[in-house]
Chains A and B, each alone.
Chain A
Amino acid sequence: AQSVTQLGSHVSVSEGALVLLRCNYSSSVPPYLFWYVQYPNQGLQLLLKYTSAATLVKGINGFEAEFKKSETSFHLTKPSAHMSDAAEYFCAVSLDSGYALNFGKGTSLLVTP
C-alpha cells in the first residue's frame, strides 16, 4: 500500500529564509502526491498536487515541490519564509483503492522574526 513519511515533526526557520519540508513516499505504482497546509483551528488547504505531468510542481503562496523518483521524495520548498507560513503541513498519497488519502504525520513549521 502507498504511504508517506514526513521527516521532522517540527521545523523552525527565520523569516526570509528557505523553507524545506521533507516527504518521502512508498508506492509500487506511479503515485499521486499532495501537500496540504492547515492553519490553527482551520481545515486543510491544498497547496499543490503531483500527477506525473511535470516533476516540478508549483503551488499557491509561493510553494513548490519536486518529484524525484530516484529518491522517492516529494519535498516542499519556498524560497523566502513569511510569518504567515507558520502552520502544520501534511504530505499525502492517494491510495490504490481509490478514495482514501494516506497522510504523513505532519510537520509543524515555525517562522521566527
Chain B
Amino acid sequence: DTEVTQTPKHLVMGMTNKKSLKCEQHMGHRAMYWYKQKAKKPPELMFVYSYEKLSINESVPSRFSPECPNSSLLNLHLHALQPEDSALYLCASSQEGGRGGTQYFGPGTRLTVL
C-alpha cells in the first residue's frame, strides 16, 4: 500500500482565518514533505520533515507553519494567508530522506484564499 491521505480535499478561507491541512501515511515512512503547486506548474518544495524533525524550510513565509506530531502525521497550519497563496497543496512521504528516495504523493488539498 502506497497511500498518502490528505484532508480536506477543498478549503476556502478568508485572509483572517486560521485553518489546518492534514496529511497521513501508514507506510512506515520517516520523511514527509509539503509542496505547493500552482496551476500548470510543477510542485515547489516547502518543508521536509525527517524522523519528525524539520529538516528543510525553503524560505516559506511564517504564515505557513508545519507540524509533525508523530511519524505518520503531518499538518500545515495556515494563518493570515494572501490570495496568491491559493494553490494545490501536496503532501508526500518517502521511506527515508536521502538521495534517490521515492516520494509518494497524496491527492492534495485545493486551497482558495478570498
Contact = CB atoms under 8 A, between A and B. Distances in A.
Contact of B101 (A44, A45, A90, A94): A94
Interface residues of B, number: 29
A106 B103 contact: no
B48 A99 contact: yes
A22 interface: no
* A: interface residue count bin: 20 to 34
Contacts, number: 61
A70 interface: no
Interface of B: 2, 4, 6, 31, 33, 40-43, 45, 48, 50, 55-56, 90, 92, 97-108, 110
Interface of A: 32, 34, 36, 41-46, 49, 51, 90, 94-101, 103-106, 108
